[in-house]
A = this chain, B = another copy of it.
Amino acid sequence: MPVMNDEVPDEGDFDADRKRGEFDNITPEDFIHGGGAGHGNPPGWLGPADINRARHQMPIAYVEIVPVRTDELGRIAQVGSLLRVSDDGSIERTLITGRVLFHETLREAIARNIAKDLGDIALPLLPASLHPFTVAEFFPTPGLSEYYDPRQHAIALCYVVAIGGDCKPQDETLDVEWVAPRSDMMETFINQMSNGHDRIVRQALAWAGI
């Protein structure tokens, strides 16, 4: 059975043996178009050698999504965050994030990554415009920018997306937790995020006027 190791910043997986072999760098998204068995090469799929090589050669395009629940006037009523098992086995709090695949539009990448983490009936309401609320630049060198990703240089276009349906956490996502943006829990949750995702949430809230 292939062991999946995600490509995305700060995500983990809960397979303790994940670093032992040739599939270490195959990611969930590499299989997402490949059918239930994970066989075959889906569009945009990259093998471990290719993705590793690319990560040392050029910036990798990502989308990063802050899921929210909105009220009848469009105001953010709740902000969602994901609980995942990180690489070292601890549980981490993070956002929805993933690489943009070859020949995939940004909208497809956003919808695919939301479906991957929140399930197929989350009913995301993508914005009419793809202006990101921020562009986060992750570098493999600590301190070079606000954002650090030891694996790669990533350029993440960040979006707030309202979720209209029901969430069924999937794959490596253990749970999705929602908190009011001005609550004490919001502050607690933000402080539990690492690698810059805390900053991205704060920027999303500032962008929304909160």
A193: Cβ under 8 A from any B Cβ: no
Contacts of A39 in B (CB 8 A): none
Contacts of A210 in B (CB 8 A): 146
Instruction: Flag if B68 contacts A57 (CB, 8 Å).
Output: no
Instruction: Flag if B206 contacts A202 (CB, 8 Å).
Output: yes
Q: Which of B58, B60, B144, B202 contacts A46 (CB under 8 A)?
A: B58
Contacts of A99 in B (CB 8 A): 58
Contact with B along A89-110 (1 / 0, CB 8 A): 0000000000111111111100
Interface size class of A (residues with CB under 8 A): 35 or more
Contact with B along A103-128 (1 / 0, CB 8 A): 11111100100000000000001111
Q: Which of B75, B104, B111 contacts A107 (CB under 8 A)?
A: B75
Q: Which of B50, B59, B139, B157 contacts A135 (CB under 8 A)?
A: B157
A195: Cβ under 8 A from any B Cβ: no
A155: Cβ under 8 A from any B Cβ: yes
Contacts of A19 in B (CB 8 A): none
Contacts of A101 in B (CB 8 A): 58-59
A145: Cβ under 8 A from any B Cβ: yes
A176: Cβ under 8 A from any B Cβ: no
Instruction: Flag if B57 contacts A128 (CB, 8 Å).
Output: no
Most buried by B among A57, A146, A202: A57
Top 9 A-B pairs, shortest CB-CB distance: A74-B126, A206-B206, A73-B107, A203-B206, A59-B61, A128-B160, A129-B208, A128-B208, A61-B155
12 contacts between A and B (CB under 8 A): A50-B53, A50-B57, A58-B61, A73-B105, A76-B128, A103-B140, A106-B155, A125-B125, A128-B160, A128-B162, A132-B132, A134-B206
